[in-house]
Structure formats: structure tokens, C-alpha cells
Structure 1
Amino acid sequence: MTLSRIVMRLARNPGTEFSGGDDHRGYALTAPLTDDGMLDEAAFSKHRDACAVRRFSPDEDPADGRLNRHGQRWFFDYDDGDQADDEPVHRLGEHRFAVGEYVTVTDEDGRPLTYKVMEVQPVG
């Protein structure tokens, strides 16, 4: 199993204060990917503790959490005991993680925001 580091930055989100996007806001995700860039569900099941996420933005401290899933619902989890902080990721299991692809994450305020995959690199 090979883990990948995936960096997603806030893309243009018309109708929000981020209509032009923001390269300083986003997520760095560590997850196993298949050869075609999809989440490797079997590898995730075996190595879920290695699957981490870091949310970053210029106006708050970074938030460290984990990639998690219940059934087909994938989300970023920042506190195992509190579901209120979970950030669902729209159809994450169906996304291809390749530079230039887009992913929608529902933020802590319940807004779906679009992020662009900017980097995908194997983790040493």
C-alpha cells in the first residue's frame, strides 16, 4: 500500500466571499490511492490510522484530524467523540485525486465549498 499526500486549495466559489478562490485555504490529506487516483477502500480499512487531514487557512490555527467513513459517507473528523465537527466530503469515494480535479467539502459552517487538487505525491 502506498499513501499519497493530496493538497487541495479553495477554488472559485461564486456567491460566497471566496468568489475568486483562495490559495491560502485548503486541506492536506494523507490517504491510500489506487493506480487511477481513486481512494483505495481496502487499504483504507487496513491503514485508517495513517489517513490524516490538516485544514489550513490564514486566519485560524491549522486543524488536524483524520479521514473517516461510515458506510459510503466519507468525512474529515477532527474529534472522535464529537460529530458536530465532522466535515462531509461530497461523493469522496467517487472522486479521482489528480491535479486539476475538484472536490466539494462541506465546511464547519455547513457550506459546500469547492477545492481544486493542486498536488498528489507519494508519501515516503
Structure 2
Amino acid sequence: MKIKSICDYCGAAFIARTTVTKCCSDICAKRYYKKRKRDQKIAQSQLITENSNEKLIDRINDQSYFSLKTLDYLSVKEAAQLLKCDPRTIYRLIKSGRLPYANLSIRRIRILKHLQRVLLPG
């Protein structure tokens, strides 16, 4: 069986031996395979980037900010979101004594929300 076809990689005309042949030679087939894999990785990376941007937007959402404002006690992560700083900054303020806290257990630190006003000037 001889079928006239066009190479998907280089665009050259060739005579295919089967109906599923897409490339004119073994070299073009290998290069086309690498190109497909590269394009798949790029598409996957773009999808991950878009999803991470959506998650970032969700984290910065004002509704989460207002829900944090209604809590009386905050975790370190929530306090960092409310003060718009890094959690390491909260830990540093706790260690220096500038931010009062309560240790509920080894990994549970809670901060009274009204005591955070000590940090804010004026």
C-alpha cells in the first residue's frame, strides 16, 4: 500500500507505507516526538501557573480578610494574613515579647486579636 502524505514535522511530501505514518523518516519521527513532549510540558506548566494564580487570588480575597476580622483568637498564619506579613515575622514578634500569645500545646499558638493593636502605631 502506498499513500501520499505530508510529514507532520518538516512538511515534506512522502509516500507512506501505512495509514498511520505521520513522518517522512525516523529522524523526523524522533524530532516530532520530542517536540510533542516539549509542548505537553509547556502546556502543563502553563496550566499549573494559571491554577496557582487563581489560588493566590483566592487567598487575597477580601471575604477571607473580613472573616478573619470576626475571630477573637488567631493562629500565627491568620495573624500573618491579617497583618499582611510573613508568619516568620509573627514568630519573631512573639519571641521578642512584642506580641502577647497563649501556648495551647507545642504547635498551637493563639494570639488575642485585640492585643495585636500593640503592633500598630497610633
The alignment's TM-score, normalised by the length of structure 1, stands at 0.21
The alignment's TM-score, normalised by the length of structure 2, stands at 0.21
Between the two structures, name the one with larger relative contact order (CA 8 Å, sep ≥ 6).
Answer: 1
Q: Give 1 or 2: higher helix fraction.
A: 2
